[in-house]
Amino acid sequence: MKITLQHVDHIYQEGGVSETAALRDVDLTIDDGELVAVIGHGGSGKSTLALLMAGLYQPSSGTVELTGSKDPEHPFRSVGLVFQYPEQQLFGESVFEEVAFGARNQGTAEDYLPVKVREALEQVGLDPDVMWYRSPFSLSGGQKRRVCIAGVLVMDPQLIILDEPTAGLDEGGRKWIAQLVRRLNEEGRTVVWITHNMAEAAEVARRVIVLKGGRVLLDGPPQQVFSEEETLMSAHLTPPPAARLVRELQRRGWDIEASAVTVEGAAEEILSHLASGKEGGHA
Ligand SMILES: Nc1ncnc2c1ncn2[C@@H]1O[C@H](COP(=O)(O)OP(=O)(O)O)[C@@H](O)[C@H]1O
Ligand SMILES: [Mg+2]
């Protein structure tokens, strides 16, 4: 499913004393099947963008349009949003109720709900038998996230938006999320992954959108976006360590391409440079 934003402004408390323009003149098209990372400093408008894409907010001006929804009458029902804070999403008395909610809303028959919930919990690596009756509020931060994701996956969204799903998770949790994001995309879903972690964005996404002050500052493949070091710095963002390493070697006189953004990519560049025997020169 494709999403198109045209001239989107979003203003909170319009006309009030605390009026805030969270998004300004945003033009974006995300095509069916894309895997996009959205990055930006706190307050740059990422969550507002997510809420607009999910149809939960209406833009103050401009349009948000979905094409290719399997439910053309209600296209936003094909969008799933995993909220930034699990507390924004969780409300159920039990994990079962929590995850069943979305499926029930979609009209899933009551006796079929347990099957759907079980499937969704398995997709996020939670044991249904252990989780079923537990209160979502009694779970660890990582488990809460997984329940939130299951609550969205149970609706089988064509476009899924995850708003900083790795925040507060340890290394293992972050790796798991990165794998999940990849898998969801491989299953044919369009994925918008909001993150503040440049290395994660570089490794997983094929396109990176950078927001600054509610505007799109950069938009392109990770190699291109992360080479714009100064522009990123102006948005209080630092390119991923691997990209910085390669650029630093280049600055010090190595004749290599500064396009690597991942650790693997940087290793490739360095090894092929060493193999070419060009490392002798000191700048
Ligand atoms: N409900 C709200 N009411 C008023 N201002 C808001 C609200 N939500 C967000 N904002 C403001 O809008 C701007 C963008 O916020 P947000 O979309 O949450 O950014 P991000 O997710 O990148 O941190 C910020 O200045 C924030 O303070
Ligand atoms: Mg946010």
The domain locations on the chain are: 1-68+158-221, 240-283
Single-letter code of the amino acid located at 103: A
Is any atom of ligand 1 closer than 6 Å to the C-beta of 240?
no
Q: What is the pTM of this model?
A: 0.94
From the list 37, 49, 63, the residue with the least C-alpha distance to 214 is 49
Is the Cβ–Cβ distance between 186 and 30 less than 8 Å? no
- The token pair at 15 is 């006309």
Is any atom of ligand 1 closer than 6 Å to the C-beta of 38?
no
Sign of CA dihedral 132, 134, 136, 142: negative
From the list 227, 187, 220, 189, the residue with the least C-alpha distance to 205 is 220
Q: How far is the CA of 270 from the centre of ligand 2 (A)?
A: 36
CA dihedral (253, 257, 261, 264) in degrees, to 10, reads -90
Q: How far is the CA of 49 from the centre of ligand 2 (A)?
A: 9
Q: What is the model's pLDDT at position 280?
A: 52
For the CA of 16, the nearest ligand? 1
Is any atom of ligand 1 closer than 6 Å to the C-beta of 69?
no
Is the Cβ–Cβ distance between 161 and 152 less than 8 Å? no
Q: Which CATH class for the 1-68+158-221 domain? A: alpha beta
Is any atom of ligand 1 closer than 6 Å to the C-beta of 12?
yes
Ligand 1 atom nearest to CA at 42: 23
DSSP strand E in the chain: where? 2-12, 20-30, 35-40, 61-67, 79-82, 159-163, 190-194, 207-212, 215-220
- The token pair at 209 is 């959108």
Is any atom of ligand 1 closer than 6 Å to the C-beta of 20?
yes
Mutate to test the pocket of ligand 1, among 20, 51, 237 (most ligand atoms within 8 A of CB): 20
Sign of CA dihedral 11, 12, 15, 20: negative
Is the Cβ–Cβ distance between 65 and 3 less than 8 Å? yes
Nearest protein Cα to ligand 1, atom 16: 45
Q: What is the model's pLDDT at position 166?
A: 92
Is any atom of ligand 1 closer than 6 Å to the C-beta of 53?
no
Q: What is the model's pLDDT at position 196?
A: 87
Q: How far is the CA of 274 from the centre of ligand 1 (A)?
A: 47
Q: What is the model's pLDDT at position 279?
A: 57
Ligand 1 atom nearest to CA at 40: 22
As a whole number of angstroms, the distance between CA 276 and CA 274 comes to 5
In order along its 283 residues, the chain shows pLDDT tens digits of 999 999 999 999 999 999 999 999 999 999 999 999 999 999 999 999 999 999 999 999 999 999 999 999 999 999 999 999 998 899 999 999 999 999 999 999 999 999 999 999 999 999 999 999 999 999 999 999 999 999 999 999 999 999 999 998 999 999 999 999 999 999 999 999 999 888 889 999 999 999 999 999 999 999 999 989 999 999 999 999 999 999 899 899 998 887 888 899 999 999 989 998 765 555 4
> Over the range 267-282, which residues count as b (16 or more CB within 10 Å of their CB) and which as e?
eebbeebeeeeeeeee
For the CA of 40, the nearest ligand? 1
Q: How far is the CA of 19 from the centre of ligand 1 (A)?
A: 11
Q: What is the model's pLDDT at position 283?
A: 47
Residues contacting residue 210 through CB under 8 Å, at least 6 positions apart? 38, 39, 40, 216, 217, 218, 219, 225, 231, 232, 235, 237
As a whole number of angstroms, the distance between CA 217 and CA 234 comes to 10
**Which bin fits 6, alpha (ψ -120 to 50), beta or left (φ > 0)?**
beta
Backbone angles phi, psi at 14, to 5 degrees: -60, 130
Cβ neighbour number for residue 248 with a 10 Å cutoff: 11
| 3-class DSSP state of 115 | helix
Q: What is the model's pLDDT at position 267?
A: 93
